[in-house]
Amino acid sequence: MNRAIVWFRRDLSLEDNQGWSLATTTAAEVIPTVVLDDRLLDAAGPFRRTQYLASVGALAQSITECGGALTVLSGDPAIALADLARELSADAVMWNGDVTRFARDRDSVTARRLRAGGVVVDTAWSTLVHPPRSVLTAAGTVSRVFTPYYRRWSDRPLAGHAEPGSATVLGVERDALPAHPDPPQAAGERAALTRLEQFQDHVDDYEHTRDRPDLNLTARISADLRFGVISPRVVVRAIGDSTPGRRAFVRQLAWRDWYAHLFAANPDLVDHCQQPAYEHIAWQDDPEEFAAWTAGVTGYPIVDAAMRELAATGWMHNRLRLITASFLVKDLLVDWRWGEQHFRRLLVDGDVPQNAGNWQWCAGTGPDAAPYFRVMNPIAQARRWDPDGAYVRRWLPELGLIPGAAVHAPWELGPLELAAAGVVLGDTYPGPIVDHAVARDRALAAYGAARAAAPSG
């Protein structure tokens, strides 16, 4: 093959990139290309958009170091790529696959258009440890239970490092990358490798520290994986399995693959409960309570601190994602799809399969989800995982003078203690929007009724 366009999407790295390796070993010349698609950029929200553009910038830099240039196109990829292929007489366009409904529809339209113009389309998989449909039950399906999936996932040999071939890397002057503010995290492969390197100091304690937002000792590589600036197989190789902490960490990457594999089998998981009985839940969907949750003014300090950090930075620790999601769905009885959309827009790592998969897990509506009757108590969670209240005080300055774990339930303080901390409940900080014990009973009743009403109920 003479000349191939390589379409980079969520695989913004040249290292261990299966699609890049395929193209550079089979074509004499390659044209690395991105297509800025407003449908995706507009949906991304400010943090993810900036992180994406900065990651594309870092990829462009790596390509320049190989003697080429990144070609930047804008608009509908089906049209932009077909036009470029025609103009440059490219024989082929290659890319790494994706599992979401949007991506699959876009890719099939693009492939059809290219093939109609006589261009070969070839695809690989690179953004997961194991490709979709490679970890199946004996019946040929993706297990709906994580543990057996994980066993098969672990038994499957890891693909070798995908080496680039010897193709000449070309570049065509087209659009410029739009100017953007600094991204939430340093972008690009080198920055991701540095984060991974720093995490090596903590990974052996991962089991003990991973749930502590006050310590913040997780790897912080989800946005790197989201944009493919680092390959998940590079991460698995670097961490290995020599200690329980390392094994626990790699298991999280299996969760990531699992949600993607489930989506590859059923992309409707983004807006349909995997367990159909829960389509009958009578959600309250109170817009004012939802707005209080998004603004971080529910009166539950751990929820409010986490939601304010998300709004300010695009980041939230996994334990806090669990607590805030459970609070929205169970305590406020708001449809998980509202929360999923809010998170997806704001999270720097917002990613449909991971986000919707986890939201369904928290709501109890997904595969192998938390059982519906398990309702997280936000105060007990806060006391356990932010034992000194340091995380909450960081994000709620109005409670900054309440010492220790007392900050998690300011309504339990006496008038003198509140006065000493300068807190006036209902004024400087809201009282609790719901009573957790009452809300819990309401949630159990709503879930119970949905189960009873379902055909199999």
Ligand X SMILES: Cc1cc2nc3c(=O)[nH]c(=O)nc-3n(C[C@H](O)[C@H](O)[C@H](O)COP(=O)(O)OP(=O)(O)OC[C@H]3O[C@@H](n4cnc5c(N)ncnc54)[C@H](O)[C@@H]3O)c2cc1C
Closest C-alpha to 1, from 145, 138, 167, 152: 167
Residue (of 129, 136, 135, 134) closest to 159 by Cα position: 129
DSSP for 317-339, written as a single string: -HHHHHHHHHIIIIIS---HHHH
Return the number of the residue (12 or 253) whose C-beta is nearest ligand X: 253
In whole angstroms, how close is the CB of 411 to ligand X at the nearest point? 26
Contact pattern for ligand X over residues 193 through 212, marking x by CB under 6 A: -----------------x--
Instruction: Select from 322, 60, 262, 66 the least CA-distant residue to 178.
Output: 60
Site string for ligand X, 225-254 (x = CB under 6 A): xx-------------------------xx-
Q: Which stretch binds ligand X (CB under 6 A): 75-83, 102-110, 213-221, 405-413?
A: 213-221
Characterise 208 by phi-psi region: left (phi > 0), alpha (psi -120 to 50), beta (else).
Answer: alpha
- Phi-psi bin for 373: left (phi > 0), alpha (psi -120 to 50), beta? alpha
47, 348 Cβ separation under 8 angstroms = yes
d(CA 204, CA 256): 20
Backbone angles phi, psi at 71, to 5 degrees: -90, 125
At 100, list the tokens.
């979401």
DSSP-derived 3-state class of residue 95: strand
CB of 388 to ligand X, least distance (A): 21
Smallest separation (angstroms) from ligand X to the CB of 201: 13
Choosing from 13, 17, 18, 358, the residue that interacts with ligand X (CB under 6 A) is 358
Residues numbered 103 to 142 that lie near ligand X (CB under 6 A) are none
- Part in contact with ligand X (CB under 6 A); list of ranges 99-107, 215-223, 385-393, 410-418: 215-223
Q: Which of 71, 100, 354, 381 binds ligand X (CB under 6 A)?
A: 354
Query: Binding ligand X by CB under 6 A: which of 97, 267, 350, 364?
Result: 350
Element (H, E) at 402: none
Question: How many whole angstroms separate alpha carbon 401 and alpha carbon 422?
Answer: 7
Distance of alpha carbon 110 from alpha carbon 62, whole angstroms:
26
Rounded to a whole number of angstroms, the minimum distance from the CB of residue 194 to ligand X is 14
Binding to ligand X, residues 253-292 (CB under 6 A): 253, 255-256, 259
335 touches ligand X by CB under 6 A? no
Q: Contact, 33 vs 59, CB < 8 A?
A: no
Number of residues that bind ligand X (CB under 6 A): 27
Least separation, in Å, of the C-beta of 378 and ligand X? 14
Position 337 contacts ligand X (CB under 6 A): no
Contact range with ligand X by CB under 6 A, out of 159-167, 327-335, 358-366, 384-392 = 358-366
User: Candidates 183-191, 347-355, 412-420, 447-455 — which segment interacts with ligand X by CB under 6 A?
Assistant: 347-355
Half-sphere exposure of 401 (CA within 13 A, CB side): 12
Give the one residue of 359, 385, 395, 447 binding ligand X; rule: CB under 6 A. Answer: 359
- Does residue 177 sit in helix, strand or coil? coil
Please state the closest distance from residue 439 (CB atom) to ligand X, in A: 18
Distance CA 411, CA 311 (A): 25
Does position 98 interact with ligand X (CB under 6 A)? The reply is: no
Among 50, 355, 360, 381, binds ligand X (CB under 6 A): 355
Is 97 a binding residue for ligand X by CB under 6 A? The answer is: no
**Residue closer to ligand X, measured from CB, 36 or 322:** 322
Supply 95's token pair. Answer: 């890319």
Among 34, 80, 92, 221, binds ligand X (CB under 6 A): 221
Nearer to ligand X, 21 or 222 (CB): 222
CB of 220 to ligand X, least distance (A): 4
Cβ atoms of 379 and 436 within 8 Å: the answer is: yes
* Residue 325 binds to ligand X (criterion: CB under 6 A): yes
3-class SS of residue 354: helix
State which H helix or E strand residue 44 sits in: none
- Determine if 313 is a binding residue for ligand X (CB under 6 A): no
Dihedrals phi, psi of 369, to nearest 5 degrees: -80, 170
User: What is the nearest approach in angstroms of ligand X to the Cβ of residue 319?
Assistant: 8
Q: Does 342 bind ligand X (CB under 6 A)?
A: no
Instruction: Decide if 123 contacts 94 (C-beta within 8 A).
Output: yes
The binding site for ligand X (CB under 6 A) comprises 210, 218-222, 225-226, 252-253, 255-256, 259, 318, 321-322, 325, 343, 347, 349-351, 354-355, 358-359, 362
